Chains A and B, each alone.
Chain A
Amino acid sequence: MARQIGEVILDLKGISLSFGGVKALTDISFDVREHEVRAIIGPNGAGKSSMLNVINGVYHPQQGEIIFRGHHLRDMNTHAAAAAGIARTFQNIALFKGMSVLDNLMTGRNLKMKTNFLQQALWWGPARREELANRLKVEEVIDFLEIEHIRKTPVGRLPYGLQKRVELGRALAAEPAILLLDEPMAGMNVEEKQDMCRFILDVNDQFGTTIVLIEHDMGVVMDISDRVVVLDYGKKIGDGTPDEVRQNPEVIEAYLGTQH
């Protein structure tokens, strides 16, 4: 039983973004299909992170259109993106360092919890049931990521690789439709990278989560992605399966060429 790649869920058309006079992204179009692993690669400063920030509404492009699940939008905003099922991780881990792993994951479910301030203040029935139901979801994520042993540990005390995993956990706790991963394997050792790869593929496989990821490690990208977009100086220079991209002369010139 193979994973079924579905229809286009997210379509970006003609996205241009600039800060002051500096162009970060120029007329970029690509789409993301449901259940696929889509990678964005490119040399440093190619505009990869900017692209993710456009998708989850941190940046607002000057031109272009975002079509998300059939809705045509000028841009996104962070809250709406989170509410619509887009979760993400960050290049520089953005966890709550003073809080336990469990609490960090629970904040990932913030948007799934509906009871109001008063109900919670009084620990009213629905609030308590909601808390328990969400705790169960979070425990499933903990089990999935094999982080039982650090459940109660403050995140700040964990080694870097584990923090990355916890951050993935917080994003997963939101049960996202699309998961944006910004360099999920940066700064990890080989074993941690292998673990992370396995988790990403398992997430994609078991929950059908669509994954958009930025990664520096070319080997990893080519192994786990279904399709790859290549950016260079804010422009798209390649798009296709890993094999197609590998043979694209422009890509070899701009990216791979510099590596060898």
Chain B
Amino acid sequence: MTASMSGGVPDSADTFPRLLLGHARARGARPAIREKDLGIWQSWTWAEAAREVRGMACGLAELGFKRGDRLAIIGDNRPRLYWAMCAAQMLGGIPVPMYQDAVAQEMIFVLQDAGIHIAIVEDQEQVDKLLEVKDQCPGLQHIIYDEPRGLRHYTQPFLHGLDEVLAAGKIHDQNHEDFLDEQIAQGRPEDVAIMLYTSGTTGKPKGVCQTHAALIAAAQGGCGFDKLDADEEILSYLPMAWVGDNLFSYAQALYAGFTVNCPESGDTVMTDLREIGPTYYFAPPRVFENLLTQVMIRMEDAGTIKRGLFHYFMAVAKRCGADILDGKPVNGKDRVLYALGNLLVYAPLRNVLGMSRIRVAYTAGAAIGPDLFRFYRSIGINLKQLYGQTETCAYVCLQPDHQIKFDSVGLPAPGVEIKIADNGEILVKGPMLLKEYYQRPDATAESINAEGYFMTGDAGFLDADGHLKIIDRAKDVGKLNGGAMFAPNYIENKLKFFSYIKEAVAFGNGRDEVCAFLNIDMGAVGNWAERRGIAYAGYTDLAGKPEVYQLIEECVSQVNAELAKDAMVADTQIHRFLILHKELDPDDDELTRTRKVRRGFIGEKYAVLIDALYGGKASQFIETEVKFEDGRKGKVAADLEIRNVRTFPTVQGRAA
């Protein structure tokens, strides 16, 4: 831990308030945060930000906010909401950022569980939600709003404008400067800095308590790993309640002292991105996917010459772009072509995407398709993957520059220890682990084992180079009769990366080999069929076409080829598959509302098909009841073909 790592802020800055004041001294005149308002980027320097935060802290203290109290923060990414976090921390309190798009009823649990007395919210919309549930949250005593618009007629005495709270606080701070200094001095690195609620896919959400020390350790590790310094620019547009935003826009920004930019509104993110040109960027895979789709649509509308150039140079980039970025050897001709392509296509494209200045971009949260990932890397954007959870400050693995493997999440981050349990579950240990789940000692004890490892619930393995590969949720992982580990999601994701395959359900737990149900993607396959002049009369018809089976079989055998490359999963190649006669549908309870496959239900519903797959039949008749959108019911029947797929021998000795 050297002083230069955090850009001139001394090591004694071991809590976020101390980091803020350190930056206010070390680089007081540099921009700390910007926000676009009325069409203009307004910025606040570190010194100004520190003054505002101090004022806010004193204002909160006057409302009765005390050490250990929790402060709810609800709203879009706005400077004053970030400051509110630090203000609460100055007083030894714990900010609890909440998802701003949750409906009122969903907020009740967190407000009650965290015992919120004071909430700082963005605007009228959030105030209305809190007013709606206030009766059910008797503890809620004060609501402070940032944006007064539309709130003129609200007369409730417990509503306060942030402007007024801030003004009163600033006067207080001027008159009693030592009050706040004392509060800040009392803060210790092992105090809880923030509480983030896990989404709670199983059971009630849990408040994850992270200490200053844990977050700062994660921030320091990440900044050192990617050499982030005070010159970085980041656009903060992901929910403040999400651990990633807290790490990137708050912890790392305060550690390294770089500039955080808040977009004008949720709809302007693309424009704001272009204007700011961040050097450090994070987005979930779907954002990258949407961007790519937009580019492709625009290219389809472009003139012939432009389109031709684009496709030609994208082919060049696909061939050598990623290697050039990784610093691997590339032949001279490709190098020249790539340079030309950079001038004509890649650089303008990066500019359109707002990614001209990006040094490091990360994605995480879901598996990113290899083609998508390769696309961004091939046009010269240093997109990488990371792995982490709320409980680990979003900090477990990072992909190092020049060592990118498309299907791994990289090496263990500095200071992180990883162990794979016998059942394949990934266990991690390090300074970034949670202190506890708020008022849930039972859950805390369950998630951390006797040796101090946090159990992530994910299954994976370390490859020969020490890179971590995530394959599935640990509870979904099963075993083939031969003893090999069977990770259905891993296989299904690989299948779904093909645009022709919309859904996949893999079976294999307790069986000799892996078989799969597939759904074709009506749009992509329909398009494919039309181009080949294949006529069809709807999903069931199209799905049963021999040509379509041929197309899908090729996709499946490619997946097998890839699986064969990894000794860990090579035995789980898909031997047989069929294309279902109907699309899996949440209305028929086959998918969850978030479109996750309900494996067990499907297994029972289509037991006859599974028997056919494992019984070696060439086809099977099935009739299924379906619900239409208008509530009527009908039947879909078909004779489904079952295909064998080519499998490959395991590739040995890849590590050499």
Q: Which residues on A are within 8 Å of B, measured CB to CB?
A: 1, 135-136, 139-140, 142-143, 146, 148-149, 151-152, 202, 206
Contact = CB atoms under 8 A, between A and B. Distances in A.
Nearest to A139: B38
B265 A146 contact: yes
Given A1-B152, A1-B153, A202-B150, A149 B38 contact: no
Interface string B148-172: 0010110000000000000000000
Contact of B38 (A140, A152, A202, A206): A140
Given A1-B153, A139-B39, A148-B267, 12 more contacts: A139-B38, A142-B38, A142-B39, A148-B36, A148-B39, A148-B264, A148-B268, A149-B265, A149-B271, A151-B39, A151-B271, A206-B152
Contacts of B39: 135, 139, 142, 148, 151
A170 B150 CA distance: 21
B640 to A, nearest CB: 41
A143 B38 CA distance: 6
Interface string B26-45: 00000000001111100000
B265 A148 contact: yes
Given A139-B38, A142-B39, A149 B152 contact: no
A198 B38 CA distance: 21
Chain B, interface residues (CB within 8 Å), range: 10 to 19
A59 B236 CA distance: 53
A148 B153 CA distance: 26
Nearest to B153: A1
Nearest to B266: A149
21 contacts: A1-B153, A135-B39, A139-B38, A139-B40, A142-B38, A142-B39, A143-B37, A143-B38, A148-B36, A148-B39, A148-B264, A148-B265, A148-B268, A149-B264, A149-B265, A149-B268, A149-B271, A151-B39, A151-B271, A152-B271, A202-B150
Contacts of B150: 202
Contacts of A152: 271
A152 B268 CA distance: 11
A1 B154 CA distance: 9
A237 to B, nearest CB: 35
9 A-B pairs with least C-beta separation: A149-B267, A139-B38, A149-B268, A139-B39, A148-B264, A148-B268, A148-B265, A143-B38, A1-B153
Contacts of B40: 139
A178 to B, nearest CB: 22
A148 B267 CA distance: 8
Residue among B36, B37, B39 facing the most chain A CB atoms (10 A cut-off): B39
Contacts of A151: 39, 271
Interface in B24-70: 36-40
A136 B38 contact: yes
Contacts of A146: 265
Contacts of A142: 38-39
Nearest to A140: B38
Interface in B255-289: 264-265, 267-268, 271
A140 B39 CA distance: 9
A235 to B, nearest CB: 39
A110 B143 CA distance: 42
Nearest to B265: A148
A66 to B, nearest CB: 34
Contacts of B152: 1, 206
A139 B36 CA distance: 11
A148 B150 CA distance: 18
A142 B38 CA distance: 8
Most buried by A among B38, B150, B265, B267: B38
A206 B124 CA distance: 15
A142 to B, nearest CB: 7
A143 B36 CA distance: 11
Nearest to A152: B271
Contacts of B37: 143
A5 B285 CA distance: 54
Nearest to A1: B153
Interface in B541-564: none
B398 to A, nearest CB: 33
A33 B152 CA distance: 23
A12 B36 CA distance: 45
Nearest to A146: B265
Nearest to A150: B267
Contacts of B38: 136, 139-140, 142-143
Residue of A143, A146, A148, A206 with highest tally of chain B CB at under 10 A: A148
Contacts of B36: 148
A203 to B, nearest CB: 12
A146 B124 CA distance: 14
A142 B152 CA distance: 20
Contacts of A136: 38
Contacts of A143: 37-38
A136 B40 CA distance: 10
A135 B39 CA distance: 9
